[in-house]
Amino acid sequence: MNLQIIALLGQDGVSNGAIYALVALAIILVFSVTRVLLIPLGEFVAFSALTMAAMQAERPVLIGWLVLALALLGTLADVGLALRGRAPWRWTSLAWPVYGLGLVAALAWLPLHGLPMLLQAVLTLAAITPLGPLMYRLFFQPVAHVSGLLLMIIAIAVHVSLLGVGLLVFGAEGSRTAPFSEFSLDLGGLSIASQTIWVLVVSLVLIGGLYAMFERTLYGKALRATAIHQLGARLMGISPVLAGKVSFALGTFMCALSGVLIAPLTTLYYDSGFIISLKGFVGAIIGGLVSYPVAALGALAVGLVESFSTFWASEYKEVIVFTLILPFLLWRSLKSGGREEEH
* Crossing angle of the two packed helices 325-336 and 273-286, in degrees rounded to 10: 50
pLDDT for 336 beyond 70: no
Query: How far is CA 257 from each of CA 9, 42, 111, 123, rounded to the nearest angstrom?
Result: 23, 12, 22, 11
Please state the rounded mean pLDDT for residues 84-94: 82
Using alpha carbons, list the distances in angstroms from residue 111 to 78, 156, 161. 35, 36, 30
pLDDT digits (tens, 9 = 90+) for 12-41: 888 888 899 999 999 988 998 888 888 889
Read off the pTM: 0.89
CA distance 76 to 96: 12
Per-residue confidence (pLDDT) for residue 93, from 0 to 100:
83
Greater confidence (205 vs 104) lies with: 104
pLDDT on residue 239: 81
Candidate from 116-125, 141-150, 217-226 with smallest mean pLDDT: 217-226
Give yes or no for residue 340 having a pLDDT over 60: no
Where would I find the beta strands (DSSP E) of the chain? 184-187, 190-193
The band of 169, judged by pLDDT with boundaries at 50, 70 and 90, is very high
In this predicted structure, what is the pLDDT of residue 218?
82
- Taking the C-alpha atoms of residue 253 and residue 48, their distance in angstroms, rounded to an integer, is 10
What confidence score (pLDDT) does residue 107 get?
A: 93
pLDDT in tens, 223-275: 878 777 777 777 777 788 888 899 999 999 999 999 999 988 888 999 898 88
- Neighbour-count burial of 152, counting CB atoms closer than 10 A to its CB (0-12 exposed, 13-18 middle, 19+ buried): middle
Q: What integer pLDDT is reported at residue 342 of this predicted model?
A: 47
Number of residues that this document lists for the chain: 343
According to the model, what pLDDT value does residue 203 have? 86
Helix (H, G, I), strand (E, B) or coil at 175: strand
Q: Mean pLDDT, the chain, as a whole number?
A: 85
CA distances from 251 to 42, 140, 321 (A): 10, 15, 23
pLDDT at 310 over 80: no
Rounded to an integer, what distance in angstroms lies between the CA atom of residue 186 and that of residue 183?
10
Q: How many other C-beta atoms are found inside a 10 Å radius of the C-beta of residue 325?
A: 19
